[in-house]
C-alpha cells in the first residue's frame, strides 16, 4: 500500500484592493453580475465574470427556480454562455463573488463541485489553465492558478 499526497496551493490576497488592476476590473464585472442574480429561494447571490483570449468579458449569475434543481449556478451560467457564443475562444480567467443577501459574507466562497467539473471541461478542451479568483462580498480573495488545482482526480474525456 502506498499513500499519495495531493497538494493544492492557493494564493490569498488580503482584500479586493490588493488585486492586480486587470483582475480587479474583472471582479467588479462579477460583482455587477451578482447584483442581477435571481436568487429568491436561497437569498444567496453569486456573480461570475470570464475573460476570453479575444478580449470579451462574459458574465453570469445564479438563476434559481421554484423547482430547485432546475436552477443554475453563476459559474455555469457564464461558462456555458461563453462556450455557446465563442466556441473557439480560450478562457484566461474567471472571477467569482458570492454572498448572502441577508448577512455579510466576509470569507471567500469557492465554486461548488458541479461548477468545478463544468469549468474543468473547458480547461481540458483548451489545454491551457483557467485562472480563478474567488471572494465573499468583502475580505480575502483567493487565487488558484488553474481549475485542476481545485479538483484533484478530475474526471475527463480521457476516461471515456
Ligand atoms: N451557487 C452558485 O451560483 N455557485 C456556486 O458555486 C455555489 C452555489 C448558487 C446556487 C444557488 O442559487 C445558491 O448559490 C445557493 O446554493
Q: Which residue has the cell 469557492?
A: 110
User: Per the domain annotation, does 29 fall within a domain?
Assistant: yes
Question: Which helix (DSSP H) or strand (DSSP E) does residue 92 occupy?
Answer: strand 91-100
User: Per the domain annotation, does 6 fall within a domain?
Assistant: no
CATH, residue 141: 3.40.140.10
Decide if 75 is catalytic: yes
pLDDT per position as a tens digit, 38-47: 999 999 999 9
User: Per the domain annotation, does 72 fall within a domain?
Assistant: yes
In this prediction, residue 85 carries a pLDDT of 98
Q: Is 132 exposed, middle or buried (0-12, 13-18, 19+ CB in 10 A)?
A: buried
pLDDT per position as a tens digit, 84-138: 999 999 999 999 999 999 999 999 999 999 999 999 999 999 999 999 999 999 9
User: Per the domain annotation, does 109 fall within a domain?
Assistant: yes
Task: Answer whether 5's CB lies under 8 Å from 27's CB.
Answer: no
User: Per the domain annotation, does 16 fall within a domain?
Assistant: yes
For ligand 1, whether the C-beta of 71 sits within 6 Å is yes
Residue 52 to residue 86: CA distance in whole angstroms: 9
For ligand 1, whether the C-beta of 115 sits within 6 Å is yes
Residues 6 or more apart in contact with residue 103 via CB below 8 angstroms: none
What is the domain extent for residue 123?
A: 11-155
Task: Answer whether 71's CB lies under 8 Å from 65's CB.
Answer: yes
Q: Is 59 exposed, middle or buried (0-12, 13-18, 19+ CB in 10 A)?
A: buried
User: Per the domain annotation, does 2 fall within a domain?
Assistant: no
Question: Which helix (DSSP H) or strand (DSSP E) does residue 41 occupy?
Answer: none
User: Per the domain annotation, does 121 fall within a domain?
Assistant: yes
Strand, coil or helix: what is 111?
A: coil
C-alpha of residue 111 to centroid of ligand 1, in Å: 8
Please count the structural domains in the chain.
Answer: 1
Select from 30, 40, 44, 111 the residue to mutate for testing ligand 1; criterion: most ligand atoms less than 8 Å from CB: 44
Q: Grid coordinates in use for 148?
A: 485542476
On whether 115 is known to bind a ligand per the annotation, the reply is yes
pLDDT per position as a tens digit, 2-58: 999 999 999 999 999 999 999 999 999 999 999 999 999 999 999 999 999 999 999
User: Per the domain annotation, does 160 fall within a domain?
Assistant: no
Amino acid at each position: 500500500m502506498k499513500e499519495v499526497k495531493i497538494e493544492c496551493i492557493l494564493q490569498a490576497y488580503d482584500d479586493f484592493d490588493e488585486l492586480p488592476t486587470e483582475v480587479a476590473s474583472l471582479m467588479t464585472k462579477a460583482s455587477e453580475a451578482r447584483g442581477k442574480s435571481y436568487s429568491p429561494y436561497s437569498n444567496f447571490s453569486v456573480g461570475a465574470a470570464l475573460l476570453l483570449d479575444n478580449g470579451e468579458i462574459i458574465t453570469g449569475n445564479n438563476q434559481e427556480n421554484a423547482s430547485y434543481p432546475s436552477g443554475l449556478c453563476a459559474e455555469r451560467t457564464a461558462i456555458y454562455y461563453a462556450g455557446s457564443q465563442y466556441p473557439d475562444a480560450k478562457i484566461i480567467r474567471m472571477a467569482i463573488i458570492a454572498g448572502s443577501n441577508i448577512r455579510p459574507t466576509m470569507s471567500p466562497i469557492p465554486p461548488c463541485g458541479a461548477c468545478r467539473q463544468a469549468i474543468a471541461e473547458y480547461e481540458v478542451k483548451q489545454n491551457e489553465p483557467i485562472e480563478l479568483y474567488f471572494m465573499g462580498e468583502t475580505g480575502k480573495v483567493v487565487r488558484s492558478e488553474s481549475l485542476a488545482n481545485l479538483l484533484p482526480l478530475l474526471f475527463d474525456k480521457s476516461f471515456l
